[in-house]
Amino acid sequence: FDPSGHRKQSKAEAKEILAEATELLAEYQMRLAAQDTYGVVMVLQAMDAAGKDGTIRHVMSGVNPQGVQVSSFKVPSSEDLNHDYLWRYARKLPERGNIGIFNRSYYEEVLVVRVHPQILAAQKIPAKLKDRGIWNRRFREINDWEHYLTDQGYRFVKLFLNVSKEEQRYRFLSRIDDGDKNWKFSANDSKERAYWDDYQKAFSEILSRTSTPWAPWYVILADDKPFARVAAAGVLAHTLIDIDPRYPAVSKEARDALQVQKAALEAEAPAGAAPDPYAAALAEKAAEKAAEKAGGKKADKAEKAEKAGKKGKKA
Ligand code: AMP
Ligand code: MG
């Protein structure tokens, strides 16, 4: 991809790549679940209307819902505020074998809380700890927490969907002009837009202070939705490929035990039924595939012969 955001791929191509990627993600998610050892946390941060929800919907479209937990973090509840600031995020960590998606995350604690000092003022931490050093401490605490979790078998996929101010204006207007999208628009969104520069500054510090070897940030250009989705799927796929989860190996003893069970089930076959109808179906499928392959080879040969013929003519 061209990093300037000018798309070389067509929309159709991006769709095709995304379809392939989601298939791969589905397979890897099954392996991740079967292995039951690593957990993946996908963190999504962005300005409003950058496409967090659409990205989640498209990227996870092929994945078994049982292996995915999406958590959307909004304004903290009074129960949240009665705990340390990481508490509510720790409670939503995915189980081993699962993918947890954080739609907004603990990064709001160094983002919206930083942009609006009154939010920090309302947090119930001791007053003397609300000094200017608090952001440095939070960066360190977040890095340490991610490091600790990495040592526990978690892998982080941190995505910043970077939408431009002009594209946000366009998308806000679409949410106002298009009645079906009205529900997506809140007056608060325009209020936050007024703090655009403060957010950009906070984001840039987050990127430089919390991109670590164990939990790096990925900045994704978000003005082009199909591109952003492919990029997000790519980063997640890369992480899963790196984990390389495997289906647990079954021991020789366990396999022998299965054969004993198989014999018992075969002995239960009613009169006239195949002892193992599944094996019969499997053999039939394999035969069909072999026939297809043979046919395909013939077609390939014919095509090659034709091409060779054309070359011959040219020469
Ligand atoms: P939305 O995701 O559009 O439903 O909006 C959720 C709102 O909750 C956003 O305005 C966030 O900035 C806000 N929010 C999320 N996390 C926090 C937090 N830790 N402290 C204060 N506000 C938050
Ligand atoms: Mg919103």
Q: In what order do the strands lie in the sheet with 99-103?
A: 68-72, 99-103, 39-46, 154-162, 217-221
pLDDT at 297: 66
Q: What residues sit around ligand 2, an ion, with C-beta below 5 angstroms?
A: 48
* Span 126-160, pLDDT tens digits: 999 999 999 999 999 999 999 999 999 999 999 99
Which ligand 1 atom minimizes the distance to the CA of 188?
10
Higher-pLDDT residue of 284, 2 = 284
Alpha carbons 6 and 24: distance in angstroms, whole number: 26
Mutate to test the pocket of ligand 1, among 55, 75, 80 (most ligand atoms within 8 A of CB): 75
Q: Which atom of ligand 1 is found nearest the CA of 112?
A: 12
DSSP code per residue over 227-275: HHHHHHHHHHHHHHHHH---PPPPPHHHHHHHHHHHHHHHHTPPTTS-S
pTM here?
0.86
CA distance 85 to 135: 13
Give the separation between CA 2 and CA 228, rounded to whole angstroms. Answer: 12
Mean pLDDT of the chain: 93
Each residue's pLDDT tens digit, 111-127: 999 999 999 999 999 99
* pLDDT computed for residue 107 by the predictor: 99
pLDDT over 70, % of the chain: 91
Tens-digit pLDDT profile for residues 85-108:
999 999 999 999 999 999 999 999
Which residues contact residue 245 at a Cβ distance below 8 angstroms, ignoring those fewer than 6 apart?
28, 31, 32, 34, 35, 37, 38
Which pLDDT value is given to residue 308?
A: 63
Ligand 1 pocket by Cβ (under 6 Å): 73-76, 104, 108-109, 112-113, 119
**If you take atom 17 of ligand 1, which residue's CA is the nearest one?**
75
> Does 299 score more than 90 pLDDT?
no
Distance of CA 225 to the CA centre of its chain: 15
Predicted confidence band of residue 2 (pLDDT cuts 50, 70, 90): very low
pLDDT confidence of residue 295: 81
3-state class of 100 per DSSP? Answer: strand
- Pocket residue to mutate for ligand 1, from 44, 45, 108, most atoms within 8 A of Cβ: 108
For residue 111, give the ligand 1 atom closest to its CA.
Answer: 12
Residue 103, both tokens: 């739609």
6-44 confidence digits (pLDDT tens): 556 688 899 999 999 999 999 999 999 999 999 999 999
285 CA distance to ligand 1 middle (Å): 53
Residue 3 has pLDDT above 60, yes or no: no
Q: What is the mean pLDDT of residues 280-287?
A: 93
Predicted local confidence at residue 294, as pLDDT: 87
> Is residue 229 predicted with pLDDT exceeding 70?
yes
Could you read off the pLDDT of 6-16 as tens digits, one per residue?
556 688 899 99
CA 113 to ligand 1 center in whole angstroms: 9
